Structure 1
Amino acid sequence: MPVRKARPGPRVLTAALCATLAVVGYMTVSPEDSATAPGPRPAAKNAGPGAAPRPATPEAPPGVGPVTRTRIPDVASQALVVTGKTRDTNVADAVLYERDGTGKWQRAAGPWPAHNALRGWTNDHWAGDLRTPIGVFRIGDAGGRLPNPGTLLPYDHDKEFVSPGTGFLGEPLEGSFDYVVAIDYNRIPGTTPLNKKRPLGAERGGGVWVHVDHGGPTQACVSLSADAMRQLLRALKPAREPVIVMGPAAEIAQ
């Protein structure tokens, strides 16, 4: 299984890393924001062996509406769909779907309970707003403090995946970064999750991950139980060009 070490440079990590965000990679926004949103990352013409063929009339994963569906790249045949009840809630549900050879999306893993940011969701994220960005983003790079649990994604096993301190409910954050999957939001795809380069500037944040749940809301990330993270990591396949689709259920259903 591929192992990639983190890039050189300062990489001291704190829980605040999950609070900083901006927009790089596949992205979806609400219709009113779409005119000013950055364009999608160019998709590969050939997803490689193991990727499901694209149907003539693409379907959408369950719960994903036609507007959001148009922002899922054609090469993507895995989608982690994370939905909350409203824009202001910080608990959510997560399900991994896979598209089969007929074009239908089937549940591959989950559902799992999840947390998102303390104040909920947003289409216009800024560093420190304590909201998780709504959108469709590539997820292709992983890592953690613990060894690779069996994922085929590039995995950076590094002791610098630390999360000191306590969360918003006073819960310890230790172990939150035992396993992480980087969400391509203002980051450089194809690099370790520890990479701190922010192409759109630090004010738009960065370091948005799917990571181990610590029992409370996050600063911007999505969190799942340790067991769910292991299942997710083992299920994700680079050849399927996986994405995360996340936001309030009503907006994802548009």
Structure 2
Amino acid sequence: MVHRRAAVGLGLGLLGSPPLLTGCGGGAEATGRRAGGPRPAPTAPAPGARAPKIQAEAAPRAIPGLGPRTAAAIPDRSRQAVVVTGRGRNSPRSTVVVYERTTAGWQRGAAWPAHNALRGWSAHHMAGDLRSPLGVYTLSDAGGLLPDPGSRLPYHRSTGFTTHGTGFQGEPLTGAFDYVVAIDYNRARGTSPQDWTRPLGPGRGGGVWLHVDHGGPTHGCVSVARSHLRELLRTLDPHRHPVVVMGYADWLAR
């Protein structure tokens, strides 16, 4: 978000609970008795007989580091989650891990070092506060200065992604927007990341992206190495309804 412009939707939902296993009878037990009739006395096991083993079902694998509140904010239909874990509330450094939801639960994928905003994180992001917004947001659109590297998300190529100047540590910003994924914070989904629509109003900021790392903190975005962002563009699948889960570790654990 050293950014120019972009655009937001917030995807919230409860994680689905595994269905309870039920018997096939549907009312009467397999003894031939009528539903509501007298229940036969239980028979004791034969002397020396072993009690049958009860097979416990393994709980679906959850995303490590996410507490119940954060996990519940991931929509049921989402099968991909990009988890951005900051080192601290005021830290500009974080780690990005990609997860895929399967029948066995969330499976961990690639993990990469990342930068977030200079002053860390905010639960009420405002334009110019130099903090990244906490929360769970959908990922709907991508774009960049360079040709589409094979993005599954709609890709909006434009010379408007050209950037110059230097970052907070004097590092050059050239190439930072060669590839971007728009985070649906205060933006209109289904538009270019550069769209100026701000449903929450301009004071709440916008243009929050995943973009190419330039070697230092951002204004509000999350940045990873160029090769990692290209990999992410090829991984995120709109049919799997990807989201980004972002915040510092203690907040995510709530």
**The TM-score by the shorter chain falls in which range?**
0.7 to 0.9
Give the corresponding residue for 1:56. Answer: 18
Give the corresponding residue for 1:107. Answer: 108
Aligned residue type for 2:76: D
Check conservation: 2:61, 2:107, Cα contact below 8 A. Answer: no
Q: Cα distance, 1:157 vs. partner? A: 1.3
How big is each residue's C-alpha offset from its partner over 1:103-149, in whole Å with a ceiling of 9 and x where there is no partner?
Answer: x111122x100000000001011100000011000012000001111
Instruction: Tell me which of 50, 66, 84 is aligned to 2:86.
Output: 84
Structure 2 Cα separation of the partners of residues 91 and 197 of structure 1: 29
SS in 2 for 1:169: coil
Aligned residue type for 1:68: T
SS in 2 for 1:15: coil
Give the corresponding residue for 1:147. Answer: 147
Aligned residue type for 1:26: L
Q: Cα distance, 1:200 vs. partner? A: 1.4
Check conservation: 1:62, 1:105, Cα contact below 8 A. Answer: no
Give the gaps of 5 or more residues in structure 1.
1-13, 28-39, 44-52
Aligned residue type for 1:156: H
Structure 2 Cα separation of the partners of residues 183 and 195 of structure 1: 12
Aligned residue type for 2:235: A
Runs of 4+ in 1 over 3 A off after TM superposition: 57-60
Q: Cα distance, 1:15 vs. partner? A: 3.1
Check conservation: 2:138, 2:242, Cα contact below 8 A. Answer: yes
Matched, 1:15 2:15: no
Distance 1:86 1:134, change over 3 A: same
Matched, 1:137 2:140: no
Matched, 1:70 2:47: no
Give the corresponding residue for 1:33. Answer: none
Identity %: 54
Check conservation: 1:26, 1:71, Cα contact below 8 A. Answer: no
| Matched length | 214
Give the corresponding residue for 1:26. Answer: 10
Q: Which structure has the greater CA radius of gyration? A: 2
TM-score normalised over the length of structure 1: 0.79
Structure 2 Cα separation of the partners of residues 15 and 86 of structure 1: 21
Q: Cα distance, 1:60 vs. partner? A: 3.3
Give the corresponding residue for 1:93. Answer: 95
Structure 2 Cα separation of the partners of residues 148 and 191 of structure 1: 16
SS in 1 for 2:103: coil
How big is each residue's C-alpha offset from its partner over 1:131-183, in whole Å with a ceiling of 9 and x where there is no partner?
Answer: 00110000120000011111111001111111211100011100000000000
Structure 2 Cα separation of the partners of residues 194 and 228 of structure 1: 22
Structure 2 Cα separation of the partners of residues 75 and 187 of structure 1: 21
Give the gaps of 5 or more residues in structure 2.
20-59
Alignment of 1:109-124 (within 5 A): 109=110, 111-124=111-124
Give the corresponding residue for 1:235. Answer: 235
Check conservation: 2:181, 2:211, Cα contact below 8 A. Answer: yes
Structure 2 Cα separation of the partners of residues 227 and 163 of structure 1: 19
Give the corresponding residue for 2:181. Answer: 181
